[in-house]
Structure 1
Amino acid sequence: MTDLDQLTQALAHNLKRLRTERGFTLEALATRAGVSRGMLIQIEQARTNPSVGTVVKIGDALGVSVQTLLKERDLTVRLVHADQAVRLWSTEAGSHSILLAGTEAPGPLELWQWRLMPGEGSDSDAHPVGTTELIHVTDGVLTLVVGDNEHQVPAGTSATFPSHVAHSYRNNGSEPVEMTMAVSVPPPR
């Protein structure tokens, strides 16, 4: 079984378990997540590999991290070696995001590594109210857009912002942007 097959199986199992634990019907979760019922069925049956955006929406609707949706088993101490980190988004030019680790503490908390190649970017839908993102740029200059406001974040600089509004990460420069990001989502209400 390939790594992708294992992730697809883990997502299928965890989605069905978490949806059932919360008492959500497929229709209720589809409405909460803004994802079609058919897509949820395909994911629960491990018949599709959904986009990162879809997995994030489902996690937000369930009140869990992407890591929780993808994890294979619970461990008290979990070491995530570089070869176990999950690349969830990439482009042919070399931009990518890697989910380094995640936990529920008390709500979802995720640690990401990102690379944005020149001229590329990534848009993110609004997360639940109370979600906060922290970023630290190690190389290049990141253009961070939160709502209608654009901010230049050069190497060596960190930023924090509420991410309950649409936001995006852009590389308008000529060198790759490297950054580390933490995302904290409040526990479900």
Structure 2
Amino acid sequence: MSDIQAVIGGNVRRIRRMRALSLDQLSALSGVSKGMLSQIENGDSSPTVSTLWKIANGLEVSFSSLIGERDSEVSIVRGDTVDPVTEDEELYRVFSYFPYDDSRKFEIYRMELLPGCRHVSERHHGGVEEYLYAAEGSLSVAVGGRVIHLNQGDAVRFRAMESHTYENHSAEKAVCHLLIYYP
């Protein structure tokens, strides 16, 4: 079991128990099978980004509350120590730099989309907004029937109440910084 699997499993179990939910109830809320939830909680499965979003939406918590460790007053993040959560045959990688905290109402990620990556992100609950900055390369974001093309240095903000898609059509890796705000 990797460290990230243990963190995810412990967080899912802790939040589920705080909400007094059974695995069956969380399965009904999230659309993730009871068996998969059990495997995740036990650290026996490495869930995809989409599966984690389904669980987060079912629990009505932030994505990073599932993948982040509890923090202290000062948090220093060393990029080479952050394990990514991957999906789409590892063409999509997301690194949690600053997990959600109730007092701040946001979380910050680094996203990497390798050439040919097309990642569909689940909708978020409760009027959540995404702020995306293209740090390297170029990508497109499809949201609300609109496709927005971003080049290095461009940024976009949108409400993430419906599924949205990130795509890298270029031959170079696209790197983005993502802030998710929970009003």
- The question of a shared fold, defined as TM-score above 0.5 by the shorter chain, is answered with yes
Determine which of 130, 135, 138 is the counterpart of 1:138: 135
Counterpart position of 1:8: 5
1:82-114 deviations in whole A, cap 9, x for unaligned? Answer: 123231116668653222221223475221112
Distance of 1:24 and 1:32 partners within structure 2: 10
Instruction: Note if 1:167 corresponds to 2:164.
Output: yes
Q: Runs (4+) of structure 1 moved beyond 6 Å?
A: none
Determine which of 23, 26, 29 is the counterpart of 1:32: 29
CA spacing shift, 1:104–1:92, aligned 2, 3 Å: same
**1:8 partner amino acid:** Q
Percent identity of equivalent pairs: 27
User: What's the C-alpha RMSD, in Å, of the aligned pairs?
Assistant: 2.3
8 Å CA contact 2:91–2:116 kept in 1: the answer is: no
8 Å CA contact 1:85–1:101 kept in 2: the answer is: no
Distance of 2:5 and 2:90 partners within structure 1: 25
Counterpart position of 1:124: 121
Consecutive unaligned residues in structure 1, runs of 5 or more: none
8 Å CA contact 2:141–2:166 kept in 1: the answer is: yes
CA spacing shift, 1:13–1:140, aligned 2, 3 Å: closer
Instruction: Note if 1:86 corresponds to 2:70.
Output: no
Scaled by the length of structure 2, the TM-score of the pair is 0.86
8 Å CA contact 1:64–1:104 kept in 2: the answer is: no
Determine which of 153, 176, 181 is the counterpart of 1:179: 176
Distance of 2:123 and 2:145 partners within structure 1: 13
